[in-house]
Amino acid sequence: MNSDAPRVRFAPSPTGIMHIGNSRTALLNYLFARQKNGTLVLRIEDTDPSRNFDPGAKIIMEDLAWLSLSFNEGAGVGGPYAPYFQSERQELYKEKLQELIEKDFVYRCFCTNELLDKKRERQKMLKQPPRYDRACLQLSENETKKLLDSNTPFIWRFKLDQSKTITITDLARGPVTFDLKNFSDFPLTRSDGTFTFMFSNFVDDVTMHITHAFRGEDHQSNSAGQAAMYQALGVELPTFWHMPMLCNIDGKKLSKRDFGFSLHDLRDAGYLPQAINNYLAIIGGSFENEIMNLDELTHAMNFDHMHATGQIKYDVEKLRWVNHEWIKRISPKELEKAVRPFLQAAYPEVGALNDEKLASLLQVLKTDLYTLKDAIESLKFFFEAPEVSKATIDQTLENDHIAPIAALLKSNLDTLENVNPLKKAAKESGIPLKQLFWFMRLALTGQINGPGVQELIDMLGVDESKERLQRVLELLS
């Protein structure tokens, strides 16, 4: 790895679940790092203990591992810029704050939250943009000293040069210029002395030598203030990429209410991690061959032409199709391992079925499966003999053929391991094969469609198949 190689990071906050949006951010960082022979860092942004939903980010790390997204450096891996949990990096933030204090880029703000709320309300009423009015920037040394002596709580704010503009480079948009007069002097600390997202995220990117900061579009306006801090410290800016947010098929921002928003929901509904990665990488782009694994995606992604704005539609139907393709693509063994837990919940007796047998059953049925869960329905006939009535037989088959088919089957029940002689005999007696197969499939599975009869007999075993056929023949005699 040369020293020009990019360093990118995925920086989730353990305040909620992994959803399809942050899974996509993780994936695109991963693919970019691999394609450019760079380094991918996992940093956990846990600066807000009160909102820590996933202590130690254990669930996030398990989810990333489930997606096979591995990191070169970071939480759970270690590396030269450890620690990788923001909660353990307070000393570093203090040092950087000190640097900014010494360079006079920050000031103390003693305004209480109530006062700030009031100011905001007034600005709203006057139809002014809600921006900090810099009251505390005007405090004299004496006034500040008095407030400090009386232990008045305060925060540090960054002093933006509001006469200036600042330009960042966005991977998809190119140069983006912000007019700093439209921004507030933002807080770097909270009144309890802890550090804000804006500041710790910036300090970490600087100290971890991040060259490319790829994140959701919701962070775009943060980059103006963060860029100002880079300039203050004389550090080269990273290339940003503010990825368009995913929206649902109706064009609304994707939310918890949309099926397929949460990664766990998708996993529980029988989606394969390969399919999720695949779909999240190709969404919004156009690729000749859409079904790709992580290696193939690494080569296929064109990061020079990424979506800048607009809506990226998350279409669960398309994801279902990609999942179907992946179910057909993975090895018999992998499919068996992936499906087994779903079957176990529906049919506890699957525990007695050995891996090879289950794998071979699934090979016959896999073209019908769009999710792993679909195997429950597809294999129902295997675990539960169907209830077939005489009426169903009468309604499904041409009546002239029922008696000859029954007679033929009766005399061939002992030769079921090979259905060829049965087929031959049917032809000789003028029985349409389609009618024969419908009859047999009805008896064996309760459905006229599905795998071939020979495959069904092989799946069920000769004895069970014989029993099921016999049961229907008895109804007719």
Segment near ligand GLU (CB under 6 A); pick from 95-103, 213-221, 393-401, 453-461: 213-221
Q: What x-and-dash track marks residues 35-54 binding ligand GLU by CB under 6 A?
A: ----------x---------
Taking the complex as a whole, the smallest distance from the CB of residue 45 to ligand GLU amounts, in Å, to 4
Beta strands in 281-424 (DSSP E): 312-313
Report, in Å, the least distance between residue 56 CB and ligand GLU.
Answer: 16
Q: Give the containing element (helix H, strand E) for 295.
A: helix 294-300
**Which of 34, 157, 215, 468 is the binder for ligand GLU (CB under 6 A)?**
215
CB of 446 to ligand GLU, least distance (A): 50
Show the tokens assigned to 224.
Answer: 């103006």
Least spacing, CB of residue 244 vs ligand GLU, in Å: 15
73: contact with ligand GLU by CB under 6 A: no
- Tell me, what DSSP letter sits at residue 379? T
The CA distance from 293 to 277, in Å, is 8
Member of 213, 272, 406, 422 binding ligand GLU (CB under 6 A): 213
Contact between 13 and ligand GLU by CB under 6 A: the answer reads yes
Maximum CA pair distance of the chain?
Answer: 112
Among 6, 7, 8, 12, binds ligand GLU (CB under 6 A): 12
Return the SS3 of 244. Answer: coil
Count of CB atoms situated within 10 Å of the CB of 314: 23
201 in contact with ligand GLU (CB under 6 A):
yes
Number of residues that bind ligand GLU (CB under 6 A): 8
Which of 89, 219, 340, 366 forms a contact with ligand GLU (CB under 6 A)?
219
Give the residue among 439, 433, 435 at the shortest CA–CA distance from 393: 439
Identify the bridge partners of residue 168 per DSSP, sorted by sequence position. Answer: 176
Beta bridge partner(s), residue 240? 170, 213
Q: Prior bond to 273 cis, omega within 30?
A: no
Shortest Å distance, C-beta 13 to ligand GLU: 4
- Written as six digits, the tokens of 275 are 């399919």
- Closest CB 203 distance from ligand GLU, rounded Å: 12
Sole window of 8-16, 55-63, 228-236, 348-356 interacting with ligand GLU (rule: CB under 6 A): 8-16
Distances (CA, A) of 83 to 41, 75, 211, 354, 383: 12, 8, 19, 46, 52
Q: Which parts of this chain interact with ligand GLU (CB under 6 A)?
A: 11-13, 45, 201, 213, 215, 219
